[in-house]
Amino acid sequence: MDSPFSKLSREIPHGTQLQSFDASAYAVNLDLYGLPLLRCPTNRARDDHENDGCDLEDDGQFFSQLVLYISLAMGFISGFWAVCCSLVLKKSWRHAYFKFWSEAYEKLYVIVVINTAKLRRWIGSAPT
């Protein structure tokens, strides 16, 4: 008796319909490869000039990720230097910036000191 599964081989065609299946749907056909499966053909001679679809990391996806990371780095660097240069060049902005952080530090210090004193008083008044 024949197996109920077909003995399919080759790359799974690209397209929305076949790519929507889960990888387990193709698991019984061991000669299939390509996305959504994570295996490459084992018995074929590979032609370096031919794109056989076994590249699990798509070149277009790699390029778009590279462009994304380069853009993020350039955006961070330009934003960082824009802030730093504005603080260096504008005296009023520099004073306002450091005044803000000084006041924030002082408020945080007062909150910590007051809460520490309350905690010590509460621990000291607790029955032993």
pLDDT in tens, the chain (128 residues): 445 556 666 666 666 665 666 666 666 666 566 666 666 655 554 444 345 455 545 566 788 888 999 999 999 999 999 999 999 999 999 999 999 999 999 999 999 999 999 999 998 887 76
Q: Where are the domains of the chain?
A: 91-128
DSSP 28: T
4-23 core/surface letters (b: 16 or more CB in 10 A; e: else):
eeeeeeeebeeeeeeeeeee
| pTM (predicted TM-score) | 0.41
